[in-house]
C-alpha cells in the first residue's frame, strides 16, 4: 500500500481500497489518544477514516481525489465555518453534523442539501453512516452489474445494422 504523509494529522494516510472515505473534521481535537479513539470508533462503520484538525487541509483533501465517495463528519463548532466552502464540491457525497446541542444547528439542515443529518448521539450518527454506506455499496454493485452486462457501442451498432438490413430485406421482399 502506498503511504502519503498528512501534515495536518501527522500520521500516514494509506491508499483507500474502499468505495468510501470517512472524514472527521474537528479543530478542537488535539490529544493523540482522542484522535486514536475517534479513528477506532469510526472504523467500526468504515475502515478508511481520516481525521483533520486544520480546515484548509480538510478542504484540500476533499478536493484532491475523485475515485471514491467522501462522507464528512463535522464537529459542530466548525460547521458554520466549513459548510459554505465545501457544499459545492462534487467530491463530497454526504455531510453529518455532530454537535453537543442538536437544536442549535437544525437550521443548517435546511440551508445545505448535502447534510444527511444532525446527530448529538454517537450511536445514531454511526447507524446513519452505516446505512448510507450500505446504500451506496448497493448502488455501486448495481452500476457494476449493469456495466458487465451492457453491450459495447460497437456491438450495439453492429446489432442495429443487422436489424436495419433485416428490415430492408423484409420490406424489399414484400
Would you list the domain boundaries of the chain?
3-173
CA end-to-end span of the chain: 66
Contact 116, 94 (CB under 8 A): yes
pLDDT digits (tens, 9 = 90+) for 90-137: 888 899 999 888 888 998 888 898 999 999 998 999 999 999 888 888
pLDDT digits (tens, 9 = 90+) for 155-172: 555 556 666 666 666 666
CATH of region 3-173, choose from 3.40.50.150, 3.40.50.2300, 3.40.640.10, 3.40.190.10:
3.40.50.2300
Contact 126, 102 (CB under 8 A): no
Please identify which residue in the block is written with the cell numbers 479513539. 37
Contact 75, 28 (CB under 8 A): yes
Position 51 pLDDT exceeds 80: yes
Cell of 54: 486544520
Position 153 pLDDT exceeds 60: no
DSSP conformational letter for 13? E
Amino acid at each position: 500500500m502506498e503511504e502519503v504523509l498528512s501534515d495536518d494529522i501527522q500520521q500516514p494516510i494509506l491508499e483507500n481500497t474502499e468505495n468510501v472515505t470517512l472524514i472527521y473534521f474537528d479543530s478542537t481535537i488535539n490529544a493523540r489518544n482522542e484522535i486514536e479513539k475517534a479513528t477506532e470508533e469510526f472504523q467500526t462503520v468504515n475502515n478508511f477514516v481520516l481525521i483533520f484538525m486544520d480546515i484548509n487541509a480538510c478542504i484540500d483533501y476533499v478536493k484532491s481525489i475523485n475515485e471514491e465517495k467522501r462522507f464528512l463528519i463535522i464537529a459542530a463548532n466548525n460547521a458554520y465555518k466549513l459548510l459554505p466552502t465545501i457544499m459545492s464540491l462534487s467530491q463530497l457525497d454526504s455531510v453529518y453534523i455532530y454537535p453537543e446541542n442538536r437544536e442549535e444547528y437544525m437550521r443548517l439542515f435546511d440551508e445545505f442539501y448535502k447534510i444527511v443529518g444532525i446527530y448529538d448521539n454517537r450511536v445514531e450518527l454511526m447507524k446513519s453512516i452505516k446505512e448510507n454506506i450500505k446504500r451506496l455499496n448497493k448502488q455501486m454493485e448495481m452500476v457494476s452489474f449493469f456495466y458487465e452486462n451492457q453491450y459495447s457501442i460497437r456491438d450495439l451498432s453492429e446489432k442495429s445494422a443487422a436489424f436495419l438490413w433485416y428490415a430492408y430485406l423484409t420490406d424489399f421482399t414484400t
